[in-house]
A = this chain, B = another copy of it.
């Protein structure tokens, strides 16, 4: 038995364990991360060789980073990869030399608006090198010279990703994607991974109707690679969610799929609304891997579920996106939202009222309060009446819940009770 806070604590603990690893879009950091996940869930690890063409892209060479620093005249590491892996521009090419501040300055990245935080910078596809540091530290740097070294390598290898498939009674799939390419950033990346792991554990125990596929992939190139290798699966994918930024204290956000009215869009909107303060946003071609899933030739029904979205919290892509930003209760609430959305996908369907001429006599079946008169409408009774009235084969349970202004679960429960009394039957073609 787990207590109410235990999923939150377990997710936070996993995040804390993964936090120090220096991940990138390729390399040992991703492998180490996925290896830890393998301790918790059955994860299939894929390695895709550098140079593999994937749509308009090519799998890049692998980045190896061993050390990186800038030393001042006293030999002190004033910028030190060992102290914080954001200190080096991700995918920096190797460099060694002695430079004045003027020479070094074009390779230094700092942000004046948050003078104590280290920003996160990458240079995957342009050969370059650089360091990131707090603005205050940059301001304190003298004219030099400085001893500068980046002990790194970019060489043929592979791109690594993990995949976990939970087979349901139906071949229809729900895809959940979490990126695993960010170094020490807690909310943007690790929170999504941790929620996905907890979801997998629950689904494996639950024997769901639908099948679920979770992928842990490097952002952009990872999702493009997965898509290029999995075109045959597209027709089976009936819904999907990009899981990201799920531990911060902000309200829940759902960004719709490109289609805008896919079942996942309606399910997520219904659940978030019932859960309280939230925001639903239209698709836009920026953000996380929904950009790829929703490109025009692919157009999968994949939305993005997060707390605070891409780039909208001040700590985003800085050293302040750390373990303090991620809260156990926020992670637990995010997990619950995912599970409720899955419950809608699992239970939604279209039913037929088998007694459609006038209302059936519910009282005779013990489904109705026996003493009538003074209006005493119970939500449960209303749910039954709504399901009966709307089950003409043209309205799904979610349609009915929206029209009735009642929670989906209440409507779905009513349908089950009515079906048990032979007043309702599933419309053809549905896997139960």
Given contacts A296-B391, A298-B358, contact A363 B126 (CB under 8 A): yes
Given contacts A223-B358, A296-B356, contact A388 B285 (CB under 8 A): yes
Q: A123: CB under 8 A from chain B? A: yes
Cβ–Cβ < 8 Å partners of A317 in chain B: 373-375
How far is A363 from B128 in the complex, measured between Cα atoms in Å? 14
Q: A153: CB under 8 A from chain B? A: no
Q: A12: CB under 8 A from chain B? A: no
Cβ–Cβ < 8 Å partners of A128 in chain B: 370-371
Instruction: Please tell me how many copies of the chain the complex holds.
Output: 3
Among A56, A371, A403, chain B packs the most CB atoms within 10 A around the CB of A56
Checking B292, B371, B392 against A359 with a beta-carbon cut-off of 8 angstroms, the contacting residue is: B292
Question: Do the beta carbons of B124 and A56 come within 8 Å of each other?
Answer: no
CB distance from A419 to the nearest CB of B (A): 16
**Contacts of A209-225 to chain B: CB distance below 8 A:** 220, 223-224
Q: A50: CB under 8 A from chain B? A: no
Question: Do the beta carbons of B373 and A296 come within 8 Å of each other?
Answer: no
Q: Which residue of B lies closest to A385 (CB)?
A: B285
Question: Do the beta carbons of A361 and B296 come within 8 Å of each other?
Answer: no
Q: A357: CB under 8 A from chain B? A: yes
How far is A56 from B299 in the complex, measured between Cα atoms in Å? 47
Task: Flag A341-385 by CB within 8 Å of B: 1 or 0 each.
Answer: 000000000000101111111011000001111110100001001
How far is A298 from B360 in the complex, measured between Cα atoms in Å? 13
Cβ–Cβ < 8 Å partners of A54 in chain B: 358
Q: Which residue of B lies closest to A373 (CB)?
A: B121
Question: Do the beta carbons of A357 and B298 come within 8 Å of each other?
Answer: yes
Q: A295: CB under 8 A from chain B? A: yes
Question: Do the beta carbons of B295 and A386 come within 8 Å of each other?
Answer: no
CB distance from A297 to the nearest CB of B (A): 3
CB distance from A378 to the nearest CB of B (A): 11
Chain A at the B interface: mostly helix, strand, loop or mixed? loop
Cβ–Cβ < 8 Å partners of A377 in chain B: 286, 311
Q: A95: CB under 8 A from chain B? A: no
Question: Do the beta carbons of B389 and A296 come within 8 Å of each other?
Answer: yes
Question: Do the beta carbons of A285 and B119 come within 8 Å of each other?
Answer: no
CB distance from A223 to the nearest CB of B (A): 7
Cβ–Cβ < 8 Å partners of A57 in chain B: 358, 361
How far is A215 from B380 in the complex, measured between Cα atoms in Å? 32
Cβ–Cβ < 8 Å partners of A282 in chain B: 403
Question: Do the beta carbons of A125 and B364 come within 8 Å of each other?
Answer: yes
Question: Do the beta carbons of B358 and A120 come within 8 Å of each other?
Answer: no
17 chain-A/chain-B pairs, Cβ below 8 angstroms: A121-B374, A126-B370, A126-B371, A227-B357, A227-B358, A258-B389, A285-B382, A285-B386, A286-B385, A291-B389, A295-B357, A296-B388, A296-B391, A298-B356, A311-B377, A316-B375, A317-B373
Q: Identify the 8 closest CB pairs spanning chains A and B, nearest first.
A: A297-B356, A311-B375, A285-B389, A296-B392, A121-B373, A285-B385, A126-B370, A56-B360
12 further interface pairs, Cβ-Cβ under 8 Å (given A125-B363, A227-B358, A284-B386) = A55-B357, A56-B361, A57-B361, A120-B373, A282-B403, A285-B382, A291-B359, A295-B389, A298-B356, A298-B358, A311-B375, A316-B374
